Structure 1
């Protein structure tokens, strides 16, 4: 299949190379930031830079919107696609209906729509990820498009699910808790150790063991430890006292400790 990308950010960087590794051809790459598009083109075999959103003469069968959610309508309003092309977005929170409605409004030709959502965190700074065990969540506006997207996904990953828009939104929210919030808390832990000139690496074995236990357990709550779980009020008081001049951390520590105690 020949595939073109609208967007050249973190996700496009990894997904385009994964498509190539699965034997597909990347055609055009468009980005509002031409520099990032050129960088991605340079990493691919046959890709070329597109300077606008008119793909009417493109040979691509699939167009991937790898964009921030708030850019979707602006891009859709300018996008010109070949008749009966497949257009997918990669968003965890935008519904398929949003994309379908935008194409009804802005496209002069019939366009098939779908969702191709990799449930993973992506950064350009990391080496290209193997998609073999990355869950790929698929949704489509019609059975034929669904079958094509599922086949494409199965060529890349062992974990392919049909996931509707509501389910995908819930997965995305859960992913924010599991990934984004957790990473934020790790950053706060490093800020604390740095403030006292302590080596953050002292926490590394603890972090690794915590994640491994949580993944191995039937439910992460079953392996919860710490002063809040034990009901150790003296230790909680000492910690809150230390954080008294750090109001944001104090509030967060109290809120999370209260939640752990309520869960029991």
Structure 2
């Protein structure tokens, strides 16, 4: 498939090379920050940077909107595509209907729309990720487009699902809890022990074992430990006293403790 990317950030950094390695041709990379487009192009076979959102003469049939959610409508309002092109967004939270509506309002030619959502955390500048075990969530109201996107997904991943916008929205919220919030809790733990000049390495074996157990269990709630799960009110009170001068941390501690106490035991 002939493909162009609008956006050269975290996702595009990994997805474009993965598609190219699977035999697809990346023609153009557009980015508001030209240097980002140039960096990505330098890792591709013969892609070129594209300085504007007019793709009317592009040889591509698929256009991947790899831009922040808040920028999607603005990009769509300026995007010019070839007739009958396929345009997909890669958002976990934006619906397919939103993209349909934007293209109906702003596009002067008929296009097909879809969603190509990779459920993973990506960072630009990191070694290219292997997509084999990255879940890809596909959606389109047009059956031929859906089939084309499923095939594209299967070219790079062993895990391809047809998922509705509502299902994907819930999945994205769950992903924020599992990924973003979890990482933030690790950062807070780092800050706490750094206040005592202790090394974060002291926590690494505990973190590793926690994730091992949680991922191997059929339900992570089955392997929950700690004072909240044990009902150890003395320890909880002691911890909250220790956090008296850090009210934000104390609030997070109390919210998490209450959530664990109220969560149904398996």
Task: Identify the TM-score tier after normalising by the shorter chain.
Answer: over 0.9
Structure 1 stretches of 4+ with a deviation exceeding 2 A read none
CA–CA separation in structure 2 for the residues paired with 1:202 and 1:74: 47
Classify the secondary structure of the residue corresponding to 2:150.
helix
Counterpart residue number, 1:142: 142
Counterpart residue number, 2:36: 36
CA RMSD of aligned residues (A): 0.7
CA–CA separation in structure 2 for the residues paired with 1:46 and 1:2: 12
Q: CA deviation at 1:125?
A: 3.7
CA–CA separation in structure 1 for the residues paired with 2:103 and 2:173: 26
Counterpart residue number, 1:90: 90
Q: CA deviation at 1:21?
A: 1.1
**Structure 2 alignment gaps of length 5 or more:** none
Counterpart residue number, 1:117: 117
CA–CA separation in structure 2 for the residues paired with 1:244 and 1:181: 22
Counterpart residue number, 1:4: 4
After the TM superposition, which residues 52-67 of structure 1 pair with which residues of structure 2 at under 5 Å, given as runs? 52-67=52-67
Aligned residues, how many? 264
Classify the secondary structure of the residue corresponding to 1:54.
coil
CA–CA separation in structure 2 for the residues paired with 1:225 and 1:122: 30
Q: CA deviation at 1:141?
A: 2.4
- Cα shift readout 1:113-140 (whole Å, capped 9, x = no counterpart): 0000000000014211000000000001
CA–CA separation in structure 2 for the residues paired with 1:39 and 1:220: 40
Does structure 1 retain, via aligned residues, the 8 Å contact 2:228–2:257?
A: yes
- Cα shift readout 1:149-188 (whole Å, capped 9, x = no counterpart): 0001001000000001000000000000000000000000
Does structure 1 retain, via aligned residues, the 8 Å contact 2:13–2:125?
A: no
CA–CA separation in structure 1 for the residues paired with 2:73 and 2:241: 49
Counterpart residue number, 2:238: 238
**Structure 1 alignment gaps of length 5 or more:** none
Tell me if 1:48 matches 2:43.
Answer: no
- Cα shift readout 1:52-107 (whole Å, capped 9, x = no counterpart): 00100000010000011111111111100000000000000000010011111011
Counterpart residue number, 1:216: 216
Counterpart residue number, 1:166: 166
